[in-house]
Chains A and B, each alone.
Chain A
Amino acid sequence: MILIPPFIVFFIAAVLVLVLRGWPRAVASILIPLVSLANLWGTPSGEYATISLMQFELVFFSVDRLSLLFGYLFHVAALIAVVYSLHVRDTLQQSVSLLYAGSALGAVFAGDLMTLFLFWELLALTSVFLVWARRSAASYGAGLRYLIMHILSGLLLLVGIVIYSRTDPSLAIGHIGLEMGAAGWLMFIAFGIKCAFPFFHSWLTDAYPESTPTGTVFLSAFTTKVAVYALARTFPGTELLVYIGAAMACFPIFYAVIENDLRRVLAYSLINQLGFMVVGIGIGTALAINGAVAHAFNDVIFKGLLFMSMGAVLHVTGKINGSELGGLYKTMPKTTVLCIIGAASISAFPLFSGFVSKSMVMSAALKNGYDWVWLVLLFASAGVFHHAGIKIPYFAFFAHDSGIRAKEPPLNMLIAMSIAAALCLVVGIYPQALYQLLPHQVAYTPYDMTHVLTQLQLLFFSALAFVWLNLRRLYPPELPSVNLDVDWVYRRWLPTRVQRTAEAAFQLDSRVRSAARAGVGNLIDAISSHHKPDGLLARNWLTGSMVAGVVLLLGFYLLLGFAL
């Protein structure tokens, strides 16, 4: 078997898509990920494809159980997203999305920090075109802000690597930890920006909903999961991550409840799900890491499914705001059912994929004495059902009838969603298929009576709360609005500050100038007043008075002569 790093296969596919048209392009973009997956399948652990560049040893294809699982996941995600976007007639978008998927694979199989940095930057550079592909003013602005945040993340990573290289010149990827000092913290923040830590998260909720219906599906799969992978590889067991993760699981659900743009609701719930993974990495035991990684796997599939169903709604209706949608189940029953499968998976209903992975993290939190974190995660689980499980399908497909009678989306979209839905069910019903791929060997049985019963109780009574609030008319209606988030700081507060400072500086400048101009004017006036006709220095003088003056002067000299 020839071992080719998967990113090379994807980059070749991107070039092929660039030159091919019509059905050969479709065949190439589907077949190549499949070929690459076959190439990757069962690759034994080890380091392949190393290149010496200057004094660095770049390892482009380092395989172990952790990177292999993410490798499989990204292949499956790329395949589903490619099928979903087959109808798109936009060469830029289709080519760039393959480059983006390839960069994610490159980052996951990077064997050293320098290679990771390389693909880290490529991820940002390729994905931003998926945001810009919407070709609207809003997406252009959001894309720029997205790019700036990600370049910042890359720079921090690079500085961290440079400092790190003084202690470990080999730059091999392994446990780093915050004990490293500055290098550790810089890399931690760099990963944190990409992982949407609180206060660094607004690039995600800002840019993802502005992308094209198909672009968002790609975006939701790769960037944040690469960050989760990087954290799992370099910072497992960092206690700070437990609290960061708990905050991430919790705060976005409040935003999700009041957000009107349904894809932005999903972006918030993406952060919420990342929170569970980050908690798992922070706990750092074998069970917790397994849970985090398994949840990353499931999240890509079910979040992809939800983004696909909302993308389908946007594609056929041109609308995505909850306030403008409703009643779509009447003419889009297939999309409705597929969306509900995604919603059930993210809500962790038994027999759906979220159930078998989220519970691992929860159970690890309890086992390791993080009682309060466990309570927070339980609240987040109820909340995610509320906003992603109920709100998304309810406001898009049911609720009040918006009068829209849209047809089902194109066949390729339905097929892609069906593949994702099938995967959600397969993993939910037969979790061993996923468990045997996990990095650690841990015996864990998700399906026992207690667990199924308590989870169903939690979910049904959360739903009851939704019903009750709706009947009492306490549930906040969908309103066309913008909700302020951290991005307000750099979209509103900072620009107005800069503008005011600039205005003040200009005012000061104009005052100084006018004062100086007035001073020069006064000087000229004073001088000219002595030289103008009738001025002191321009008058005619009588000869007699001149002589009198000279006599006075001579008299003064005489006096001086006597005095000295």
Chain B
Amino acid sequence: MKNEKEYLFDNPRNVQWLMRGFYACCAVLLGLELVVHRHTEHTWEGLVGFYPLYGFIGCVVLVLIAKWMRGLLMRPEDYYASQNAVGESESLGEGSSKGETAR
């Protein structure tokens, strides 16, 4: 690791700066809403902080629902591949038992 070149985000300080810049952008965007007059087409749009709140809450809800969906829908990676193998071995088993009854 030591002899390898250090890249931009290997230094935690750079990441920190990036995040600070990002938080500052969010704050500025929130503040601008109070300064700039917006021409809204819909009453919901006119509410203060509608877009930021909707974006934030929407995404949190999205991720939480998706996590819950994982519990229902997630299967091992070879789920469909293994199905064929199981099917074949089952049918083989059936065949041999049938052979026995025929005898």
Contact = CB atoms under 8 A, between A and B. Distances in A.
Interface of A: 138, 253-255, 257-258, 329-330, 363, 366-367, 371, 374-375, 378-379, 382-383, 386, 398, 448-450, 453-469, 474-476, 479-485, 491-492, 495-496, 499, 503, 506, 510, 514
11 contacts: A379-B54, A450-B36, A457-B30, A465-B57, A465-B63, A469-B59, A474-B67, A476-B63, A481-B75, A481-B77, A491-B83
Contact of B42 (A374, A458, A485, A499): A374
Interface of B: 7-9, 19, 22-23, 25-26, 29-30, 32-33, 36, 38-42, 44-45, 51-60, 62-67, 69-70, 72-81, 83, 87, 90-91, 94, 98, 101-102
A482 B76 contact: yes
Contacts of B29: 453, 456-457, 460
Interface-central residue, A329, A386, A460, A469, by most chain B CB under 10 Å = A460
B7 A330 contact: yes
A138 B29 CA distance: 47
B33 A453 contact: yes
A260 to B, nearest CB: 8
A475 B63 CA distance: 7
Nearest to A379: B58
Contacts of A453: 29, 32-33, 36, 38
A398 B54 contact: no
A157 to B, nearest CB: 29
Contacts of A506: 94, 98
Contact of B63 (A257, A329, A371, A495): A257
B59 A483 contact: no
Given A476-B66, A483-B74, A492-B80, A462 B55 contact: yes
A449 B66 contact: no
B25 A467 contact: no
A480 B77 contact: yes
B83 A329 contact: no
Contact of A382 (B58, B78, B91): B58
Contacts of B73: 258, 483-485
B11 to A, nearest CB: 13
A468 B70 CA distance: 20
Contacts of B38: 449-450, 453-454
A461 B36 contact: no
Nearest to B86: A496
B40 A450 contact: yes
Contacts of A454: 38, 45, 51
Contacts of A367: 41
B49 to A, nearest CB: 8
Contacts of B102: 510
B87 A495 contact: yes
Given A258-B69, A448-B39, A465-B56, A460 B26 contact: yes
Given A255-B66, A448-B39, 17 more contacts: A257-B62, A258-B70, A382-B58, A453-B32, A455-B51, A462-B56, A462-B58, A464-B23, A476-B63, A476-B66, A476-B67, A481-B74, A481-B75, A484-B75, A485-B73, A491-B83, A492-B80
Contacts of B83: 491-492, 495
B52 A457 contact: yes
6 nearest CB pairs, A to B: A465-B59, A257-B66, A461-B55, A461-B52, A457-B51, A458-B55
B58 A329 contact: no
Contacts of B39: 448, 450
A300 B78 CA distance: 32
B47 to A, nearest CB: 12
B52 to A, nearest CB: 4
A420 to B, nearest CB: 25
A374 B45 CA distance: 11
B62 A254 contact: yes
Given A453-B36, A481-B77, A506-B94, A462 B101 contact: no
A465 B52 contact: no
Nearest to A492: B83
Nearest to B64: A474
A499 B87 contact: yes
A467 B42 contact: no
B38 to A, nearest CB: 4
B89 to A, nearest CB: 12
B70 A476 contact: yes
A254 B41 contact: no
Contact of B79 (A138, A450, A463, A482): A482
Given A458-B55, A495-B83, A469 B60 contact: yes
A484 B29 CA distance: 39
A471 to B, nearest CB: 9
Nearest to B75: A482
B42 A482 contact: no
Contacts of B80: 482, 491-492
A6 to B, nearest CB: 39
B98 to A, nearest CB: 6
A59 to B, nearest CB: 42
Nearest to A483: B73
B26 to A, nearest CB: 5
Contacts of A464: 22-23, 26, 55-56
A454 B51 CA distance: 6
Nearest to B19: A467
A481 B8 CA distance: 31
A138 B81 CA distance: 8
Given A329-B7, A383-B62, A495-B87, A467 B22 contact: yes
Contacts of B32: 453
Contacts of B81: 138
